[in-house]
Structure 1
C-alpha cells in the first residue's frame, strides 16, 4: 500500500514518458556495487515496485524522461518539486524536522508539502505539481533552489536539486542504516501550479507591471525577468550558444578550449546538480574537440564549479527572498561567474558572422541589426506591405468595386472621403 500510494500521488493518466527506477545490487568481486535499471511507463510502474517491495536500496526519479536515459536534457514531464533532508547530519530528529517545516509553511516561507517520506536517515519532501514540459526547466529550477535555500539549515542536499534526481522508494530498505523507507504523510487534494508558486514565493510581478518598470527605469528588489531571459534561462541559452559555436567551428576550438570548458561546465551546472553526471557531460563536450584538453585540466575546471553554483544560488535566492542586492555595471557584485557579452566574444573569438547564429552572446552591432530587422518586419504585414501601401491597395479595391457598381467619380470621392482628382488617378491603376 505504501508503494502504491506513493506512485498514485505522483503519477496518473496524464503521465507521459519513462519513469526510471534504480536497484543497487550487492558488491561484486572487485568490491563495486552493480546497478539494475528499470525504465517503465506509468501503466507498468506498479508491477515493478511490487516486485521490489522490501528490497534494499531502491531509488526512483519523480520526473519522467522522453527516452529511457535519465538526464536533465531528456526530461519529458516535471511531476513534482522535491527535497532530500538529511536532518540527522544536523543533529535533528525526523519528527522535529517535519514540525519545523510545517512551521515554515505557516509562516509563509515555503509551500506546504503534499507528501513526506522517511528515507531512513532523513526525510524526503514532495510538492506535487501540474505536469509541465522541459520548457519549464528554468521555472522548476528556480522553485527547487528557493525551497533548498530555505531548508538548507535543516540539512537540505544541493545535489538533490537536480531535475533528473532519484530518491529512495518507500516500501524498501536503506541498507546504510537498516531502516525501512515509508510514507509519513500524503495530501492528495493538493496539486500546485509552478507559475502560481513563482508569483507567490519568488517575487515575480505581472508582465504589465514589468513593462511599466522598464519604461520608468525604476529599480527595486523585486525579481523582474526581462523580455527574454532571467538569470536561470540566460545560463541555459548561453550553454546552447556555446554548443552552437563549437558546431559552427566543427569543434576546432584550439586556443579557446579552457574558456569554453569553464563556461560550459558552469552554465550546465546551473541545472545539472549531480556532480558525477555533470562531469560526464563536460567530458563528452571536451572529447568532441579536435584537440581535447587533458583530463587533469578538465578536472581542475570541475573542482571550482560546485562552490560557484552555491554562490549563484545564495545570490539569486537571496534576491528572490526580498534581500536588496547591489549590482555594479560590470556585474562584479553578483555571485558565481558572470561575463559580459563583450568579454565572451573576445575570449572565445566569436566573429560577427558566428553571432548571427547566437541567441544571447551577441555584440552591439548584431543587437542593433536585429532590432532594425524587427522594426522592418513589424512595419510590413503578411503581404510584405507597409501601412501606407496597404491603405492604397484597400482604396484601389474599393474604387474598383464602386466603379463596377456604376458610381460616378464625384460619388466615389464623396463615399471614400477623397478628392475627385485622386479618384481619377486611382481609376487609371484599376
Structure 2
C-alpha cells in the first residue's frame, strides 16, 4: 500500500500517512518531460557510488535499492537534462527540501515528532512558514519537504527556488538548518533505507510521513514567506527608515572616492548585477541597501554630520542602479527599504558572499579572494597550461591507461598459455612490470 495511515485526524495538516519508498520515488521523479534523469547514490564503505536513471526507470531504481542492503542511500530532489548532477542541468524542480540537523542544537533531546510539534508552534500555526507536505526522519535529523506542482527548471524558477530555500534556511537556523543542503543538485536520504551513523537500531530506518495538503507553486510559497531582506534585517538588527521627499533643489550628483574599499565593494555588486543580467529578484532591496551603505561609508564624516545632501546623492545613485534590474523596485520600495541614517556597517567578504549567494563561478569572475576561488582559479590555470604544453586531459589519460592495461592483459594471457609454469618474477620481467602488477593483472583475467 502506497500510503499507510498511522493516526486518524481530520486536520489536513497532520502528518498522518506514512509514505513508502516506491511512492516517494514516483512522487519526485515521474514527469512528462522527455530525457529527464535522476540520481541514486550510495555510500558503500566510505566509497561514494552514483547511479543515473531516466525518469522512465523508476521501477528499476526501486528494484536496485531493494536488492541492495539499503544502507546510506540518497536520492536527488530535481530532474536533470543529462547524466551530470549539477544545478545548471536542472530541468524540473519537484520539491524543496530543508535538512534540519537538530542534533547539533539545544533541541537535540527532542524526538522527530516533538521537533515537528515545536516547529508547528513557532512557525507553521502562526503562518510564518507554510506547512510542509511531508517530513522525513533521517536518523540524525529531519527533512521538511514542500512538494511542487509541475515546475520547469528555468533561470527564473531556479533563482526563485534559491531565494526561497535561503529564506527557509535563515529562519530555521536555530533548529540546525544545513547550509550545505541548499543546492538544487544536493541529494537526501530516501525512505525505507537505513542510516549507518545511528547506533540505535530502532531509529536507523529513514521514514517519511505526509499530510493531505495540496502541492505548492513557487509563487504561492514566496507570497507566504517574508522577503529575504526582512529576514536579514531581523537577524542582524538592521533598521531602515522612511525617506521623505525633499523639497527644493538639492545637488544630488554622486561623488565617488575610487581609492577606497567601499568603492571596490560597489564595483563588485554592480558587476554582479551585470553577470546575473539583472535577474536579482529576492536580492534587490539588499543590494540597494548595501550600495547605499557603502556610498555613505565613503563619506563617513558627512554621514555622521547627517548631511541631507549625502542622502540625496545616495538615493540618486541607487535609483539609477535600480533600472539595471529586469524587475526594478518601485520608488516607494526604494524609499522604505534602503535608507539607514544611524549606523555604518562593516562587511567581511564572507558576509557579502552569504548575503548575495555569490557562486564560485561568480567569485572567480568578480576576483573575490576566497580560498575556494583561489584554488579553483589555480586549477583552471594549471589545466590550461598543461593543455598548451600538449599534456593529456584526465579523460584522455584514463583512456590511455585503460588501453595499456588491455594490452598487458592480452600479453599476459599469451605468456601464460606459452609458459604455464613461469614464475611471477619471470612474467614480470617479460611484461616490464612489477610482480605486484602481475598479481593484479592475473586477478583481472580471472574476473573476465
Residue number among 49, 71, 74 corresponding to 2:89 in the alignment: 74
Aligned to 2:28: 10
Kept in 1, the 8 Å contact 2:195–2:206? The answer is: no
Kept in 2, the 8 Å contact 1:213–1:219? The answer is: no
Superposition deviation, residue 87 in structure 1: 1.7
Kept in 2, the 8 Å contact 1:61–1:165? The answer is: yes
Tell me, in whole angstroms, the C-alpha distance in 2 between the residues paired with 1:127 and 1:65.
19
Aligned to 2:103, the other structure's residue is in SS state helix
Tell me, in whole angstroms, the C-alpha distance in 1 between the residues paired with 2:145 and 2:332.
40
Aligned to 2:94, the other structure's residue is in SS state strand
Alignment of 1:120-135 (within 5 A): 120-130=139-149, 131-135=151-155
Tell me, in whole angstroms, the C-alpha distance in 1 between the residues paired with 2:48 and 2:224.
40
Would you say 1:219 and 2:232 are equivalent positions?
no
Aligned to 2:175: 154
Superposition deviation, residue 46 in structure 1: 3.0
Tell me, in whole angstroms, the C-alpha distance in 2 between the residues paired with 1:127 and 1:211.
27
Would you say 1:198 and 2:211 are equivalent positions?
no
Kept in 2, the 8 Å contact 1:6–1:183? The answer is: no
Superposition deviation, residue 264 in structure 1: 10
Alignment of 1:174-253 (within 5 A): 174-178=195-199, 179-187=203-211, 189-203=213-227, 214-215=330-331, 218-221=334-337, 239=361
Q: 1:74 to 1:95 in 2, by over 3 A?
A: same
* Residues paired across the two proteins, number: 252
Kept in 2, the 8 Å contact 1:117–1:181? The answer is: no
Q: 1:71 to 1:174 in 2, by over 3 A?
A: same
Aligned to 2:43: 24
Deviation sequence 1:106-163 (CA, Å, 0-9, x none): 1122121111111111111111123231412221111011111111111111111111
Deviation sequence 1:357-379 (CA, Å, 0-9, x none): xxxxxxxxxxxxxxxxxxxxxxx
Alignment of 1:366-405 (within 5 A): none
Would you say 1:56 and 2:163 are equivalent positions?
no
Tell me, in whole angstroms, the C-alpha distance in 2 between the residues paired with 1:233 and 1:153.
18
Superposition deviation, residue 56 in structure 1: 0.7
5+ residue gaps, structure 2: 3-19, 228-280, 283-321, 339-352, 388-448
Aligned to 1:342: none
Superposition deviation, residue 21 in structure 1: 0.7
Kept in 1, the 8 Å contact 2:29–2:38? The answer is: no
Tell me, in whole angstroms, the C-alpha distance in 1 between the residues paired with 2:153 and 2:90.
7
Aligned to 1:196, the other structure's residue is in SS state helix
Superposition deviation, residue 217 in structure 1: 7.7
TM-score (norm 2): 0.48
Tell me, in whole angstroms, the C-alpha distance in 2 between the residues paired with 1:238 and 1:51.
35
Aligned to 2:114: 96
Aligned to 2:426: none
Aligned to 2:98, the other structure's residue is in SS state strand
Aligned to 2:163: 142
Residue number among 98, 102, 105 corresponding to 1:87 in the alignment: 102
Aligned to 2:180, the other structure's residue is in SS state helix
5+ residue gaps, structure 1: 27-32, 223-230, 244-258, 267-277, 293-430
Where does structure 1 differ by over 6 angstroms across 4 or more consecutive aligned residues?
231-238
Alignment of 1:253-268 (within 5 A): 260=367, 262=369
Aligned to 1:34: 47
Aligned to 1:65: 80
Kept in 2, the 8 Å contact 1:64–1:76? The answer is: yes
Tell me, in whole angstroms, the C-alpha distance in 2 between the residues paired with 1:124 and 1:235.
22
Aligned to 2:193: 172
Tell me, in whole angstroms, the C-alpha distance in 2 between the residues paired with 1:78 and 1:67.
15
Aligned to 1:51, the other structure's residue is in SS state helix
Residue number among 93, 110, 113 corresponding to 2:129 in the alignment: 110
Q: 1:117 to 1:291 in 2, by over 3 A?
A: same
Kept in 1, the 8 Å contact 2:194–2:206? The answer is: no
Q: CA RMSD in A?
A: 4.0
